[in-house]
Structure 1
Amino acid sequence: MIRFAIVGCGHIAKKHIEAIRSINHAELVAFCDNNPARLEEFKDTYKIKGYLSLEEMLENEPQIDAVNICVPSGLHANLAIKAASYGKHIIVEKPIALTIEDADSIIEACEKNNVKLTVVHPNRFRPAVIALKEAMDNNLFGKISHANATVRWNRNQAYYDQAAWRGTKDMDGGVLMNQAIHNLDLLLWLVGPVEEVQAYTATRLRNIEAEDVAVATLIFSNGALGVIEAASTIYPKNYEESLSIFGETGSAVIGGTTANWIKHWVFEEVDETDAVALIEKINLDPYGISGHQQIITDFVEAIQQNRSPKVTGEDGKNALKLVLAIYEASERKKPVKLKHL
């Protein structure tokens, strides 16, 4: 049995609680939050021990094996490093951190204390994404010409006004760091490392510090080109999340309001009947098992089997590096090489 504790009793913590309670060999034993009212609400709802600080929780609950970091992004590093120093395995919500220095500090703390680390990028476990990864691994695309990642969603002003930290550069970031980073993780996972970025970002419609719209062009290390479009300004609600890959012998697009459906699937080596059958199969259950449940299930197994999780700290850092490169390219108004980050 792997015993979990959660830091931060906000909206995302509820997904972690639901996932942990649905997994064999996983048990939720405690959570902590520095907001007394929110802590009491969670204690009453979930009937689990609650504490006002991470240190108090770890001192009083030595049986904890793993800690899930579910606080604003700017707080990830301090809390993850503290939990790792107690010998606890770490699950950290996306993004891993807001700076490369903080990401490195988390990774180093986990390595130093010989504990596992995973970052919550659950979209890798979507059925359509798994099919896309298999197509890539089987070289069905041949030589890649280009790839597109698009997030056209709505986060209205009321969303940002829920808490003072939302939309700030020090605690949250904008549409790239908060919403689109999942799609960027998929882009890197599927097509490979990015060598160079040119980009523009803007804060057009929301009263926040960070960007609410961004566009970028990429050169991948394999020579393929890429395009990123991300916006939280779409009226009046979420419209599209998509990932498109085009190659010498294949083309594929997954999309929908969230990227859960196969919209286009044509490969030289795949019979049309088989392609239609795959699309129909995924359409029957496009969401599959909850991504958070799969992330935590994999983490339990990684601890039990003493192996690396499927999503590593370095994976989280790579997605962060791409976002930061987009920010820098936009600020400098010139291309940025990722190697120097």
Structure 2
Amino acid sequence: MIAMKHVKSLKELAEDIELVALCDINIENMKNVLTLWNPSSDIKLFTDVSLFLQSDIDLVVIATSTDSHVGITKQALEKNKHVLVEKPLSLSMEEARELHQKAEETNKIVAVSLQTRYLSQIQAIVKAKQTGEFGKLYYGTVTVRWNRNKEYYGKSPWRGTWGRDGGVLLNQCIHYIDLLQLLLGDVVSVYGVGGTYRHPIEAEDLGMALLKFANGSVGIIEGTTTVYDKNLQTSLSIFGENGYVALEGERLDDFKYWKFKNQNEMDLEIQNQIEEISHTKMYKDIVSAIRSGSKPYVSIETTLKTHEIIFAIYKSIQTGSTVTLPLERYSTIENMDK
């Protein structure tokens, strides 16, 4: 349950963040959270989200099925709450933009849980880009070669459906597509291929795409949950005229290559910064943004682009043609019965 990962990070920040209420239609889920947090705490429990949102809450964390994200986020904004919503934000481009507009109108933060951005190793690559170490950027690649078994999809019947969830690109690959966009910039066109190969689901369990960026660089995406019989590889690579970097490992915690014209080897400081993915830095950033009235690193403004790329790939797979951005409209429901 993804909510437990959030709670673990919140517990690390217990001196700065108070967990005041939980809401779930499953009482046992909330009891599990209480056990992890503090069984004797006086956290309020709700099964009705409307009553839950009447509580004295600053930040609402939404870790429900994807199809419910938009509705709960709107309700929270209407009650003047800041929101952190699990990825993906929505199943349609129009609804994602509506949430952005609603956040602006209410002057509240809507952040999307793309916590991989905060990794020290990712920030080292961002810094290398900002300081010109790469020179002209040529291309970048992401690979997500994972296994998801029938129990994974069977445990939650909404998984892998077009109406409630989407496939491997929108769920497993979204963090890494987000990093590609973060490092290479705005995308101008995409061409995608994909389909359902192994699992009895509606959405794709294998997807690939070729991206063209505004700066002239190219991106390659490969994502699948069909690998037998366990996760095989996750990687991110960026290549430029004066150097290249490559991260591997399921959590991108292995600097496979770090080579630049002006650097003989990776700085020891960077090697010592490599860390595992967690939500803690993201929460620190969001709390700071709430207090200062600024925007967090994963604000809806910056994460909309990632969703737009994936929706454009879906549209390309559906139509068999190249799709240019910006993408005016798209919903995963368009893929139902295709």
**What TM-score, normalized by structure 1, do the two folds share?**
0.91
Contact 1:20 1:296 in 2 (8 A): yes
Task: Show the counterpart of 1:51.
Answer: 46
CA distance in 1, matches of 2:310, 2:34: 36
* Alpha-carbon distance between aligned partners in 2 of 1:15 and 1:286, rounded to the nearest angstrom: 16
**1:268 is matched with which residue: 261, 265, 287?**
261
Q: % of aligned pairs identical?
A: 35
Number of residue pairs matched?
A: 323
Q: Deviations over 1:235-255 (max 9, x none)?
A: 111111111111110111111
Q: Deviations over 1:255-299 (max 9, x none)?
A: 122312111111011133xx16256424xx532xx5311111100
Task: Provide structure 2 residue ranges, at least 5 long, that are not aligned to the other structure.
Answer: 329-338
Q: What one-letter code is carried by the residue in structure 1 that aligns with 2:324? A: K
Instruction: Provide the residue aligned with 1:321 in structure 2.
Output: 308
How large is the Cα RMSD of the aligned pairs? Answer: 1.6
Range with bigger deviation, 220-229 or 253-262: 253-262
What do residues 102-123 of structure 1 show as CA deviations (whole Å, max 9, x unaligned)? 2112222222211112111011
Check conservation: 1:94, 1:316, Cα contact below 8 A: no
Distance across 1 between alignment mates of 2:283 and 2:50? 23
Report if aligned partners of 1:195, 1:221 keep a CA contact under 8 Å in 2. Answer: yes
1:123 to 103, 106, 116: 116
Q: Which residue of 2 aligns with 1:13?
A: 3
Structure 1 alignment gaps of length 5 or more: 1-10
Identify the match of residue 90 of structure 1 among 83, 104, 110: 83
- 8 Å CA contact retained: 1:77, 1:105: no
Q: Distance in 2 between matches of 1:339 and 1:31?
A: 38
Does residue 277 (structure 1) correspond to residue 264 (structure 2)? The answer is no
The one of 230, 252, 275 equivalent to 1:286 is 275
Q: Does 1:32 align with 2:19?
A: no
Counterparts of 1:1-341 in structure 2 under 5 Å?
11-23=1-13, 24-43=15-34, 46=37, 47=39, 48-59=43-54, 61=55, 63-272=56-265, 275=266, 277-278=268-269, 280-282=271-273, 285-287=274-276, 291-341=278-328
Q: Which consecutive segments of 4 or more residues in structure 1 shift more than 3 A?
A: 36-47
Task: Say if 2:4 and 2:33, in contact at 8 Å, map to a contact too.
Answer: no
User: C-alpha deviations, 1:13-37, integer Å up to 9, x for none?
Assistant: 1111111221142111001012344
Deviation at 1:44, TM superposition (A): 5.9
8 A Cα contact 2:191 2:211, kept in partner: yes
TM-score of the pair, normalised by structure 2:
0.91
C-alpha distance in structure 2 between counterparts of 1:118 and 1:280, whole Å:
29
Instruction: Please name the residue that 1:6 is paired with.
Output: none
Tell me the equivalent position of 2:336: none
Q: 1:44 to 1:132 in 2, by over 3 A?
A: closer
Deviations 1:15-68 (A, max 9, x none): 111112211421110010123443455456644221011111122x2x211100
